Amino acid sequence: MKTKLFSFLFFLILFSSCNNQTGNGICLIKNKKPFENNTANKKIIECYQDSTINDLIRINNAESIINSFGDISLKINKNENDDWDVYFKNKKGDEYLRLIFYPDLSYIHNNEFSFFEVGYVKDINNKAHLFQSGFMHFNTSSGCSLGISLDSLYKIKGKDFKITRTAENSAHIIKYCKDLYVEEYSLKNDTIISFGFGYYPE
């Protein structure tokens, strides 16, 4: 059981392999699959843990999801051999919020989600299942949002990140924190184009 728990700690493998890319070389936070590994070579730190979007949509909190979007249990994309998720776009239609649900955890309520991802709609391949929301933007409680610079991110979150430079002018950042919490950021020209945060299942 403990081995399986730690394997979840590294399901965000894309920041090392970056296999799920759009046509423009941007590596999005998609297809989070657990893989066998351990925490021996990963730096686990204390950090401020974002838990909300727009101070209303809360990680692992069904009530906040229902208050923001209604009952969305029937809107979840039940992807075969993948994490289940649901996408919402902002009023303008240029940003998306992806809520990620772990189907193998039977005790999780259908309106509770353990990981949030935010990005630009233009950078996702399948736009058919984007549901409309009433939000202008998707920002974290700490002040992170799309379009901010790497310097601004450092001012908000500090510099204790692992940075991987990939394609020309692209970078990926990951921070492992205590309590199975992780933050990830994808950048183009040192500007955030997608980010994700949340908790691994216990």
Range of the domain at 20: 2-199
What gap in Å lies between CA 151 and CA 142, rounded to an integer? 15
Residue 140 has pLDDT above 90, yes or no: yes
DSSP states along the chain: -HHHHHHHTT--THHHH---B-TTS-B-S------S--STTS-EE------EETTTEETT-HHHHHHHH---GGG-B--TTS-EEEEEE-SSSSEEEEEEE-TT-TTS-TT--SEEEEEEGGG-S--TTEEE-S-S---BTTS--TT-BHHHHHHHH-S--EEEE-STTEEEEEEEETTTEEEEEEEETTEEEEEEEEE---
pLDDT at 99: 92
Average pLDDT over residues 101-127: 77
pLDDT in tens, 74-104: 888 877 766 788 999 999 999 999 998 766 5
Model confidence over 19-54: pLDDT tens digits? 443 333 333 443 343 322 334 456 676 778 899 999
Q: How far apart are CA 107 and CA 62, in angstroms?
A: 13
Confidence tier at 179 by pLDDT (50, 70, 90): confident
Q: Are 162 and 182 in contact (CB under 8 A)?
A: no
Number of domains in the chain: 1
Residue 159: pLDDT over 80: yes
Task: State residue 163's pLDDT score.
Answer: 87
190: pLDDT confidence band, cut at 50, 70 and 90?
Answer: very high
Return the pLDDT at 5: 38
Highest mean pLDDT among 76-80, 158-162, 168-172: 168-172
User: With the C-alpha atoms ordered 41, 42, 44, 47, is the resulting torsion angle positive or negative?
Assistant: positive
Given this model, what pLDDT does residue 103 score?
60
Query: pLDDT at position 42, please?
Result: 60
Per-residue pLDDT at 148 exceeds 80: yes
